[in-house]
Structure 1
């Protein structure tokens, strides 16, 4: 499959099958993904993962706790929280891409862009092996300080992406994209 085909065929996957995703496979993908461009070779990222049931259960509890801090989620019945928890636990692997929060605005932007390039590399590399992902940066979790502290985010870091990862049986149909010609201005 060509690079162009991988880019055009990749989809966000929200439903995974039961096939486990080995930690060694995730590390193999990450070892290629880290070749993303990053200014000055600062490599501003690190990773936090959960792939075994016990870790995902703990993570799910923290997710529900973080959601419960929000007004709109505060009154969700326990039964629904348990269903949500089990959905999280069923995800084969959850990966957080963490980036250093530089005080210098230019470095901050460069480092976040580099982490995003790494995440795109990861998604494409995974797709090539039949591994789908959904990339989220939902502020409910990614911007929640107490949640971040629980998963090991330091005060000088932020989450660039939370990725749900796993093998899948069916990919969604592609949706049309706007052509570059419609978005292009030439000087």
Structure 2
């Protein structure tokens, strides 16, 4: 068995996509090493090949790196209650200034239910494509959907416009720690077969 990953022996080497899907991990501890803008743009362009209905490409991105991470941090802290701020401000600021990149993924909201569902699926697919492409290049990602994303003060501070929904914040960087895989339920246990 390969020392690289416990599941490696189950995945033939001629299926690199399947291997990437199984090996990718959500990363919550990042090194402070910077990520180049060139690499980020390459990953964004790769993820743009995500399937999306009618080629609407309903996504856009707001990126914070370098000193601009303080603006992101202040937007998050500004959306906290007084009690949360008192308890968490110092740690949140330290954490957010360590993570190399914060990428807010925003979707145009469509008032038609079918199109809205399609667009949520498309943007979610985009995020997964981004995570897989980043993993292939040695970067880790965590996809966050915290309550502050809907706070008017946060939305205004980061430039989210009326008629847009934040699908998530992606924290991106080189992993400090890669967690062990957690077991998944076998598909057969959730599959209804009609023959």
TM-score (norm 2): 0.88
Q: Report the Cα distance in structure 2 between the residues aligned to 1:84 and 1:32, rounded to whole angstroms.
A: 31
Tell me whether 1:150 sits opposite 2:157 in the alignment: yes
Tell me whether 1:120 sits opposite 2:133 in the alignment: no
1:38-187 to structure 2, matched below 5 A, reads: 38-53=52-67, 55-68=68-81, 74-76=82-84, 78=86, 80-138=88-146, 140-187=147-194
Query: Structure 1, residues 12-43: CA drift from partner, whole Å, max 9, x if none?
Result: 00001121111221111010101000000000
Q: Report the Cα distance in structure 1 between the residues aligned to 2:134 and 2:173, rounded to whole angstroms.
A: 9
Q: Which residue of 1 aligns with 2:5?
A: none
Moved over 2 A (4+): 76-80
Q: Which residue of 1 aligns with 2:19?
A: 5
Which one has the largest radius of gyration? 2
> Quick check: 2:78–2:153 contact (8 Å CA) kept in 1?
no
Query: Structure 1, residues 120-152: CA drift from partner, whole Å, max 9, x if none?
Result: 0000000001100100112x2221122112111
User: Structure 1: which 5+ runs fail to align?
Assistant: 69-73
Q: Report the Cα distance in structure 1 between the residues aligned to 2:78 and 2:153, rounded to whole angstroms.
A: 9
TM-score (norm 1): 0.92
